Structure 1
Amino acid sequence: MERLEFDLLFRWFVGLDVDEPVWDHSTFSKNRDRQLAGEIAAKFLTAILDHPRVRRLLSSDHFSVDGTLIEAWASMKSFRPHDGGDREGGNGGGRDGFADFRGENRSNDTHTSTTDPDAMLYKKGPGMEAKLCFIGHGLIENRSGLLLNARLTRVSGHPERLAALEMIEPFAERPQGITLGADRGYDAADFVDELRTLNVRPHVAQNVSRRRSAINGRTTRHARYAASIRARKRIEEAFGWIKTIAGLRKAKLRGLAKVDWAFTFAAAAYNLIRLPKLLGVPA
């Protein structure tokens, strides 16, 4: 806000005249609330993809889906029991006191973050650190690598598979079958069966570690399956940009709706960054 008082370039960028008074800081909060209510982030992403020059870049046949963890803006000390009980810190307690959680069983069934109640405790695999987080989902078109859909959910249950079905369903409403690539975390019989019901060919990486894969030779023998497995890794580029350049490795907002808004805006920004190269024009 202070920079707007004297920097003409900043004033030009936001549309303020030289002698026009700068807004109060609360204006930004009100604008954010209006954008949340109007689903502006999702509409912005859709508007980019609906542009005629962008639409020509998109295939309607081959897609990939994945999810990524977004760490919540909440500390583990805020993860308190539902009954209000709490263990005393090791240095006298207090807001910033040392907390010793050793030997304490903590789960989403018994504890909630007092800082961000929407955030839930989750870890990606055995032996990995559990964190308060959300999970972001993305759907890309394989040829261009552009994000067609992005959303954020809580981490309870199997959110990646549920979000994948919701995101791919609008593209499956056609007589011809389409393909959906995904990593082995999506290799589950119910998910694969649901995709086939939607006339979507499940090009999911096989998970054969101490289990039987839901993807059999009828799918893996085709060259398109191998192509989808290679192409699906492109979504990691989008997630990497969103978490590093866009700064969403750790959310700076609290609440599912606000973090979802930021994640979707970041997905739209990623598409804008890619488009000059895809369209062959200077950035």
Structure 2
Amino acid sequence: MRGTDRQQSAMFSYISAERRVPKDHPLRAIRVMADAALEHLGPCFDAIYASSGRPSIAPEKLLRALLLQMLYTVRSERMLMEQLDYNFLFRWFVGLNLDDPVWDVTVFTKNRERLLKGEVAEGFFTAVVDQARIQGLLSDEHFTVDGTLIEAWASHKSFQRKDARPKTPPDDPGNPSVDFHGERRSNDTHQSTTDPEARLARKGAGKEAKLSYAGHVLMENRNGIAVQGCVTQATGRAEPQAAMALVEKIPGWHRVTLGADKGYDRKELVQELRDHQVTPHLACKSSTIIDERTTRHPGYQISQCKRKRIEEIFGWLKTVAGLRKTHHRGVARVDWIFTFALAAYNLVRMRNLALAAP
């Protein structure tokens, strides 16, 4: 018999959000690891917040909400607050009861800004990597480094000459008509008025130039987990410098291998890597100084095969975490959100590895 379509606007429910979330839901394992990482940030939170005054949003709940925004590709914080209002799964993960009011989006944003000023993202990322190391998921000998461009939150219209004189206000200040065709523009003579730290860059010959930042990742080769990351200005020469900075953070002083593409095959970088007991397993250019003493070993071919997995990290950051075009301005803020997104990727990766383990 066909059931009746009864409408009831008000009712009582005695089922908690904990019971509504399936036992095998992916977020359960991620929340356990995230909570363990957040426990290590207690002293950092104490240093950021005052000891008296009106209580703010708990930083643990705020960071869990930011994790959800990346894991579920929520494109704005306003939409995130809307999801928290009626999504039982989101409320359970963040730690809100079903009858708790949701924060105003402006209050949420201001509290997030407070965390941006501290080393919260780096501390959270380090705590997640430490969990992977304890579980035996990391290699301490074989690594890969690479970089990618992250489009800045600024348009070409804001890229103007540094010595330009003030112009008369346009007819439409919010979206003025700008004709820059035929004008030679470079980072030396021009600067974005919206995001002065962004730089005009392109991925390769024949590609369009965009205002961007450069994101760099150091990946261990065993399971493809990011162990270091940073954001720099897209100067065109940032990759070798960032690679060396990331390699120097590898714990211990023992010989390791570093795989990378041809963009890193530079004489100065190769020599500096060797001085730091790092074997350069770099893709060779025609004028390379890397000879058969390095390329003849089977480990070199393995590194060249494994290094391609770092593109999976960049793909996840841009398609899932929403970092194809950042919503933040300035190197410091973009670096904060980039590091936090790497931690989110590692949580997903570790959960998948635990699920695939025999």
SS of the counterpart of 2:185?
coil
Quick one: which amino acid aligns to residue 252 of structure 1? Answer: H
Flag the 1:52–1:13 CA change in 2: closer, same or farther, 3 A.
Answer: closer
User: Which residue pairs with 2:128 in the alignment?
Assistant: 48
Between the aligned partners of 1:264 and 1:127, the Cα distance in structure 2 is 30
Instruction: Tell me the CA shift for residue 137 of structure 1.
Output: 0.4
Cα deviation for residue 41 of structure 1 reads 1.3
Instruction: For 1:203 and 1:256, locate their aligned partners in 2 and report how far apart those are by CA, in whole Å.
Output: 30
Identify which of 78, 81, 94 aligns with 2:161.
Answer: 81
Partner of 1:158: 237
The runs of 5 or more residues in structure 2 that have no matched partner are 1-80
Question: Does 2:275 align with 1:197?
Answer: yes
Report the 3-state secondary structure (helix = DSSP H, G, I; strand = E; otherwise coil) of the residue aligned with 2:191: strand
Q: Judging changes above 3 Å, is the alpha-carbon distance between structure 1 residues 58 and 4 closer, same or farther for their aligned structure 2 residues?
A: closer
* Other structure's SS at 2:222 match: coil
Deviates more, 1:14-23 or 1:51-60: 14-23
Superposed, which structure 2 residues align to 1:12-51 within 5 Å? 12-18=92-98, 20-51=100-131
| From 237, 241, 244, the counterpart of 2:316 | 241
Q: Aligned equivalents of 1:63 and 1:124: distance in 2?
A: 23
2:224 is the counterpart of 1:145: yes
> Which has the larger displacement, 44-53 or 109-118?
44-53
How far did residue 128 of structure 1 move? Answer: 1.6
CA distance in 1, matches of 2:292, 2:86: 66
- 2:21 maps to none
For residues 133-187 of structure 1, the C-alpha deviation after alignment (integer angstroms, 9 at most, x for no partner) is 001000100011000011111012511111111111132642x311000000000
Distance 2:180 2:166 in 1: 10
1:57 paired residue number: 137
Secondary structure of the corresponding residue to residue 47 of structure 1: helix
Identity %: 52
What are the superposed Cα offsets for residues 7-28 of structure 1, whole Å, 9 maximum, x if unpaired?
A: 6555444334455444333332
Distance in 1 between residues matched to 2:88 and 2:294, nearest whole Å: 60
> In the alignment, is residue 169 of structure 1 matched against residue 248 of structure 2?
yes
1:97 paired residue among 176, 182, 200: 176
Q: Is the 8 A contact 1:80 1:114 kept in 2?
A: yes
SS at match of 2:249: helix
Distance 2:355 2:92 in 1: 28
Deviations 1:234-281 (A, max 9, x none): 100110111111111111222222211111111111111111222236
Indicate the residue corresponding to 1:110 in structure 2: 189
1:25–1:276 CA distance, 2 compared to 1 (3 A):
closer
Equivalent of 2:342, from 246, 256, 267? 267
Q: Residue 83 of structure 1: CA displacement? A: 1.4
Normalization by structure 2: what TM-score? 0.71
Structure 1 residues 219 and 4 mapped into 2: Cα distance closer, same or farther (>3 Å)? closer
Matched, 1:220 2:220: no
Contact 1:93 1:99 in 2 (8 A): no
Q: Secondary structure at the match of 1:269?
A: helix
Q: Distance in 1 between the 2:87 and 2:237 partners?
A: 49
* Maintained 8 Å contact 1:119/1:133: yes
Higher Rg of the two aligned structures? 2
| Structure 1 pair 178–18 and aligned structure 2 pair: CA distance change class (3 A) | closer
The 3-state SS of whatever aligns with 1:228 is helix
Do 1:48 and 1:54's aligned partners in 2 also have CA atoms closer than 8 Å? no
Partner of 1:279: 354
- How many residue pairs match? The answer is 277
1:172–1:198 CA contact under 8 A, matched in 2: no
Aligned CA RMSD, in angstroms, stands at 2.5
Question: For 1:271 and 1:52, how far apart are their aligned partners in 2?
Answer: 8
1:49 aligned partner, one-letter code: V
**One-letter code of the match for 1:182?**
A
Q: TM-score, normalised to structure 1's length?
A: 0.89
Q: CA deviation at 1:93?
A: 7.0
Deviates more, 1:231-240 or 1:24-33: 24-33
